[in-house]
Structure 1
């Protein structure tokens, strides 16, 4: 298991987010990115989570709505990766996966595309 403190991991996530294509992130309206240690159940199997209502499921959406959240879990990533290069790849994949859920792409389609 890799070791990396929370601040360094968060900076890595921000760096990977900054490297995503503009077309992918331009449409992210009212979305916050959060880094947490582990999922609520304490397991290490979940790398990220989209908490919100996908664009394809929204009938109305406007002012006053709480932001959707994309959560990246630090400890599961560190448990899965052997070095920083692998960690960056895994964080990148997690970000793409969770952003895809925002756009309404489900897990089956993500598997077909190689992002799950």
Structure 2
């Protein structure tokens, strides 16, 4: 486990988001990224969550719809990582994983691709 305050973690997540390929993040429409300490149940088991409707499941979507959210949980990441390099790798993987859910890629396919 490593220590990192909320502000430093937010900066790290922002840096990792900036490192993702443009074609991955360019299609993110009406999506916000949120950093929370822990999931609502207080567990340390979940690193991230896509809260929204995948592109593949949208019939109509447009103005007035609340944004989808990609949530990155700080404390679970810190709990599973040994150092900052490991943390960057885990945050990167979490971002790719949750963005993939936005595009309609399920956990089984992510596992096949090595992102789960």
TM over 0.5: yes
Give distance in 1, aligned partners of 2:15 and 2:7: 12
Tell me the CA shift for residue 22 of structure 1: 0.2
Matched with 1:74 is 74
- Counterpart check, 1:39 vs 2:42: no
Tell me the CA shift for residue 80 of structure 1: 0.2
Q: Which runs of 5+ in 2 are unaligned?
A: none
Task: Say which SS state the counterpart of residue 13 (structure 1) adopts.
Answer: helix
Give distance in 2, aligned partners of 1:71 and 1:32: 8
Matched with 1:11 is 11
What's the RMSD between the two structures over aligned residues?
A: 0.3
Q: Which runs of 5+ in 1 are unaligned?
A: none
Give distance in 1, aligned partners of 2:7 and 2:36: 11
**Structure 1 residue ranges (4+ consecutive) displaced by more than 4 angstroms after TM superposition:** none
How many corresponding residue pairs?
116
- Counterpart check, 1:108 vs 2:108: yes
Matched with 1:54 is 54
Task: Say which SS state the counterpart of residue 41 (structure 1) adopts.
Answer: coil
TM-score between the two structures when normalised by the length of structure 1: 1.00
Give distance in 2, aligned partners of 1:26 and 1:73: 23
Give distance in 2, aligned partners of 1:11 and 1:65: 28
Give distance in 2, aligned partners of 1:115 and 1:23: 17
Tell me the CA shift for residue 49 of structure 1: 0.1
Give distance in 1, aligned partners of 2:36 and 2:3: 15
